[in-house]
Structure 1
Amino acid sequence: MRKITFKILTRLPSKYATTGLILIVALFIYGIVGSYFIMGLNLIDSIYYAVITMSTVGYGDYFPHTGIQKIFATTLALAGVALLAYVFNTLLTSFQEKMSKYSKGARKMKAINDMDDYYILCGYGRVGKVVFNELRQRNQNVIVIEKNEDIYESIEENESVVSIHKDATEDDFIAKLAGDKCNSVIISTGDDVSNLFIVLTIRETNPDAWIVTRASKIENISRLKKAGADKIVSPEIIGGKDLYFESTKPHLLRITVRHATDEIYDEFEIIAKHGCTLESIDYHLPGIEAPLTREIKTMNLLDGKKFQNYLNTHDDQKRALNNLYKITNNTHSHLISGQDRAAFDKLVEDLGKIEEVIGINLTNEKIAKITEKEIE
C-alpha cells in the first residue's frame, strides 16, 4: 500500500504542482514586500513575518498598529489560509482520482482473470462496434481496448465485457492479455501503422496467438501478413464486393436444384452457354436453415472441365463430394449472375431438362422447410 501511495503521489499532474508553487511564491513575495514597506521591518524580519502570517501561526512578536498594517496582515493571513486550502484540496482530489483509477483497474484485471476465455478487440470505432455486436450476440467474453476517452466511456461493461482505456501500441499490455485464455485478437483500428505495430507486439511474445486485423489500404495487406497476422480483412475489398452484388441484384438468380455429382459438368456447360457466372453454391442440410456455402466465381467452361478432371483423378476428393451430396440429399442452390432476365429464363429452362428444379429465389427458411420433410 505504501508503494502504491508513493507511486500515485509521484505521478500527480505537474500542472497542479506548478500552479500551487506559483501561487505560493507570489503570495510570499507579496508578504515580504508588504512587511518591508508597510510594517517597516528589515528584510530578515519581513521574511519571518510573511511566513508566520501566511501559515496563520502568529507568534505575537510583531503587531500591526495602523489601519494599512492591519489590512495588510489580514489579507496576507486570509490569502495564506485560502492558498493552503486550495493546494490541499487539489492534491486530495487528484489523489482520490488516481486511487479510484487504480482500484477500478484492479477490478478490471480481476474480471479478466475470472474469464475462462475471451476475445480481445482493439479499436471500438465503426468497424469495431460491428465486430463487438457480433461477439456479444454469440455470448462471447470481450476485452475492448480503446484509446479515445469519449468512446471508451460509451462502452457498457458487464461480467462478459471489460473495457480498457489504453493505447494498444504504447506497451506490451495487450501481448500479456493475448495468452492461453485468449481465443483471438481482433485489431480493427483505422490506422494500418498502428495495426502493424500491434501485430508485431503480440506475435513477438505469443507465437500461437490467433490474430485477425483490419487493413484500410490494400497495399498494406502483405505487410500485415509478414508481420504475423493470421487473417487480414480489408473493408475496401468487402465493400467493393457488396457494391457489386447490390448493383447486380436485378441480374442475380438463386436457383435451388437437386442432382448427383455426375451432372456437375453439365451444369457448367449450360451456365457458360448463356454467358452467366456461377458465383457460389449453397449446400442445404435437411431441416437446417443456414447452408454450407462455397464461393465459385467462374463463367469459364474450362474451369468446369478442370474440376471434372480433378475429381476423376482424386478418388478421396470425389468420395468426399459424394458424401456431401448424400448428406444434403443432392439439394443445393446456385447463385448465378447474368446479363438480363431473358438469359435467366433460358438458363432455368435448360437446367430443368437435366435436373430437378426445386425453386427460384427461395429463402433459406423455405428451403429448410422443404428439406425437413425428407427427415421426418
Structure 2
Amino acid sequence: MRKITFRILTRLPTRYVTTGIFLIALLFAYGIIGSYFIMGLNLIDSIYYSVVTMATVGYGDLTPTTGIQKIFATTLALGGVALLAYVFNIILTSFQERMSTYSKGARKMKAIEQMENYYVLCGYGRVGKVVFEELNQRNQNVIIFEKDSEVTDDLEESDNVVVINKDVTEDDLIAKVAGEKCRSVIISTGSDVTNLFIVLTIRESNPDAWIVSRASKLENISHLRKAGADKIVSPEIIGGKDLYLESAKPHLLRLTVQHTTDEILDEFEIISNHGCTLENIDYHIPGIETPLSREIKTMDLKDGKKFQKYLDTNKDAKEALDNLYSNVNNIHSHLISGPDRRTFENLLNNLEKEITIIGKNLSNKEIMELTKKRKE
C-alpha cells in the first residue's frame, strides 16, 4: 500500500504541480516585499513573518499595528490559506483518481485471470472494430488493448470483454496475457513499426503463441514474418476477387461430384437454370491434396453450349479433357455462388438426379482421402 501511495503522489499532473509552485513563490515574494516595506522589518524577519503568516501560525511576536499593515497581513494570511487549500485539493483529487485507476486495473486483471480461451486484439481502430464485431458475434472472450480511451468509450465491458487503455508497447503485459489461455493474438494497429514490436515482444516469451498481424505496407510483410507472425494480412494484397468471395461466403457452395465429360452440359444447364454462377472447377488427382484449379466465372447457358460445341468440333480438346477426367477418376469440385441457401437446396435436389454427388463443402484433405479409397 505504501508503494502504491508513493507512486500516486510522485505522479501528480505536471501542469498542476508547476502552477502550485509558481503561486507559492509569487505569494512568498509578495510576503517578503510587503513585510520589508510595509511592516518595516529586515530581510530575515520578513522571510520569517511571511512564512508564519502564510502558514496561519501567527506566533504573535511580530504584530501589525497600522491599518495598512493589518490589511497586508490579512491578504497574506488569506492567500496562504487559499493556496494551501488549492494544493491539498490537487493532491487529494489526483490521489482519488489514481486510486480509482489502480482499483479498476486490479479488477480487470482479475477478470483476465478468470477468463479462458480468449483472443487478444491490439488496436481498436477501423480494422480492429471489424475484427471485434466478428469475435463478439461468436461470443468469444476478447481482451482489447487500445491506448486511446475515447476510441473505446462505446465498448461495454463484461465477463467476455476486457478493455485495457494503455500503450501495448509500454511494458510486457501483452506478453503475459498472450500465454497458454490465449487462442490467438490479432494485431491490427495502423503502424507496422508498432505491429513489429508487438510481435517481437510476444514471440520472445511465447514461442507457441498464434499471432496474426496486419501489414499496412507490402515491404513490411517479410519483416513481420521474420519477427514471428504466423499469418499476415495486408489490405494492399486483398483484391476484388477475394473481397467478393469473402462477402459471398454464406452463399457459396463447394460441390464435389463424379461424372464424365458427356454430362458437363447437363450439369451446367441445371446450375444456370437456378440462377447460380459456376466460379471454378477443381480437379482432384488421387493422393495429392492440392487440386488443379480452373476459373470459369459464368452463369450464362450460352457459355456452356459454346464450350460443348468446341468439344464436339475439336477431337484433340475432347480427348485431352477425357484424359484429365480419367486421371482424376471423374472426381472434381465446383465452387458455386448463388442468391440464397434455399436455391442451393433445390440445386442439389436436381443435380442428384443427373450426377453422383460425393459431398459438399469438403476440404481438400477430405477429398484426397476419398480419392485414395476410390482408386483402391
Q: CA offsets per residue over residues 348-368 of structure 1, 9 Å max, x none?
A: 9779x999x9x9945233324
CA contact (8 A) 1:143 1:164 kept: yes
Structure 2: how far apart are the matches of 1:266 and 1:237? 38
Structure 2: how far apart are the matches of 1:186 and 1:157? 19
With the length of structure 2 as denominator, give the TM-score of the two structures: 0.73
Q: Which deviates further from its counterpart, 175-184 or 21-30?
A: 21-30
Report the AA paired with residue 185 of structure 2.
Answer: V
Shift of 1:21: 1.4
Structure 1: how far apart are the matches of 2:91 and 2:337? 73
CA contact (8 A) 2:122 2:187 kept: yes
- The 3-state SS of whatever aligns with 1:74 is helix
Compared with structure 1, are the counterparts of its residues 258 and 146 closer, same or farther at alpha carbon in structure 2 (3 Å cutoff)?
closer
Q: CA offsets per residue over residues 217-261 of structure 1, 9 Å max, x none?
A: 122222211111111111222254357779xx9xxxx8997841x
**Residue 16 of structure 1 corresponds to which residue in structure 2?**
16
How many residue pairs get aligned? The number is 316
**Residue 337 of structure 1 corresponds to which residue in structure 2?**
297
Q: CA offsets per residue over residues 289-346 of structure 1, 9 Å max, x none?
A: xxxxxxx6xxxxxxx6xx5xx43xx3x869xx9xxxxxxxxxxxx98325x9575353
Shift of 1:128: 0.5
**Residue 208 of structure 1 corresponds to which residue in structure 2?**
208
Q: Report 1:116-265 matches (<5 A).
A: 116-241=116-241, 259-260=257-258, 263=260
Compared with structure 1, are the counterparts of its residues 43 and 189 closer, same or farther at alpha carbon in structure 2 (3 Å cutoff)?
same
- The 3-state SS of whatever aligns with 1:236 is coil
**Residue 64 of structure 2 corresponds to which residue in structure 1?**
64
**Residue 330 of structure 1 corresponds to which residue in structure 2?**
none
**Residue 53 of structure 2 corresponds to which residue in structure 1?**
53
**Residue 6 of structure 1 corresponds to which residue in structure 2?**
6
CA contact (8 A) 2:279 2:337 kept: no
CA contact (8 A) 1:256 1:362 kept: no
CA contact (8 A) 2:196 2:224 kept: yes
CA contact (8 A) 1:255 1:335 kept: no
Is 1:346 the counterpart of 2:305 in the alignment?
Answer: yes
Compared with structure 1, are the counterparts of its residues 101 and 237 closer, same or farther at alpha carbon in structure 2 (3 Å cutoff)?
same
Shift of 1:47: 1.1
Structure 2: how far apart are the matches of 1:17 and 1:227? 43
CA contact (8 A) 1:32 1:46 kept: yes
- The 3-state SS of whatever aligns with 1:149 is coil
Structure 2: how far apart are the matches of 1:94 and 1:179? 34
**Residue 329 of structure 1 corresponds to which residue in structure 2?**
none
Q: Report 1:31-42 matches (<5 A).
A: 31-42=31-42
Shift of 1:116: 1.6
Report the AA paired with residue 235 of structure 2.
Answer: P
**Residue 341 of structure 2 corresponds to which residue in structure 1?**
364
Shift of 1:265: 11
Compared with structure 1, are the counterparts of its residues 239 and 155 closer, same or farther at alpha carbon in structure 2 (3 Å cutoff)?
farther
Structure 1: how far apart are the matches of 2:108 and 2:43? 57
Compared with structure 1, are the counterparts of its residues 361 and 110 closer, same or farther at alpha carbon in structure 2 (3 Å cutoff)?
closer
Shift of 1:197: 1.1
CA contact (8 A) 2:184 2:210 kept: yes
CA contact (8 A) 1:118 1:181 kept: yes
Report the AA paired with residue 336 of structure 1.
Answer: I
CA contact (8 A) 1:145 1:164 kept: yes
Q: Report 1:270-281 matches (<5 A).
A: 279-280=279-280
Report the AA paired with residue 344 of structure 1.
Answer: D
**Residue 300 of structure 1 corresponds to which residue in structure 2?**
none
Q: Report 1:107-118 matches (<5 A).
A: 107-118=107-118
Q: What is the aligned-residue identity percentage? A: 63
- The 3-state SS of whatever aligns with 1:235 is coil
Structure 1: how far apart are the matches of 2:8 and 2:261? 71
Q: Which segments of 5 or more consecutive residues in structure 1 lack a partner in the other structure?
A: 272-276, 282-295, 297-303, 322-333
**Residue 80 of structure 2 corresponds to which residue in structure 1?**
80
Q: CA offsets per residue over residues 192-231 of structure 1, 9 Å max, x none?
A: 1111111111111100000001111122222211111111
**Residue 325 of structure 1 corresponds to which residue in structure 2?**
none
Structure 1: how far apart are the matches of 2:169 and 2:133? 24
Q: Which segments of 5 or more consecutive residues in structure 2 lack a partner in the other structure?
A: 269-276, 313-321, 323-329, 353-376
Compared with structure 1, are the counterparts of its residues 117 and 263 closer, same or farther at alpha carbon in structure 2 (3 Å cutoff)?
same
CA RMSD in angstroms, aligned pairs only: 3.8
Shift of 1:144: 0.3
Shift of 1:89: 0.1
- The 3-state SS of whatever aligns with 1:237 is coil
CA contact (8 A) 1:199 1:224 kept: yes
Report the AA paired with residue 63 of structure 1.
Answer: T
CA contact (8 A) 1:120 1:142 kept: yes
